[in-house]
């Protein structure tokens, strides 16, 4: 997969979003905000691993991949 990668919503930790280099946006037609980065998922997952997160599960939803992470 290549970027952009969705990394959070309006309730996400601002300091973590800053660490990831995420930008907050609202897509036309959505009633919520989301954070995204232009990095590929593997880059984002490597950054999160350096912060103590680990992948618990992963699944596909249509053409979207979803990772569930847990912080040690």
Give me the CATH number covering residue 13.
3.30.1410.10
Neighbours of 17 (CB within 10 A): 18
CA distance 13 to 6: 14
Please tell me the predicted confidence (pLDDT) of residue 72: 82
Per-residue pLDDT of the chain (72 residues), as tens digits, is: 787 899 999 999 999 999 999 999 998 888 999 999 999 999 999 999 999 999 999 999 998 899 999 998
pLDDT at 23: 96
* Total structural domains within the chain: 1
Provide the residue range defining the domain that includes 13: 5-71
Alpha carbons within 13 A on the beta-carbon side of 35: 18
What local confidence, expressed as pLDDT, does residue 63 receive? 87
Which residues are 57's β-sheet partners? 68
Instruction: Give the integer Cα–Cα distance in Å for 11 and 14.
Output: 8
């Amino acid at each position: 997969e290549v970027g952009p990668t969705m990394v959070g919503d309006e309730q996400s930790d601002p300091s973590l979003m800053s660490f990831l280099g995420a930008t907050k946006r609202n897509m036309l037609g959505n009633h919520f905000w989301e954070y995204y980065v232009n990095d590929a998922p593997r880059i984002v997952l490597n950054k999160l691993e350096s912060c103590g997160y680990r992948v618990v599960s992963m699944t596909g939803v249509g053409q979207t991949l979803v990772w569930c992470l847990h912080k040690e």
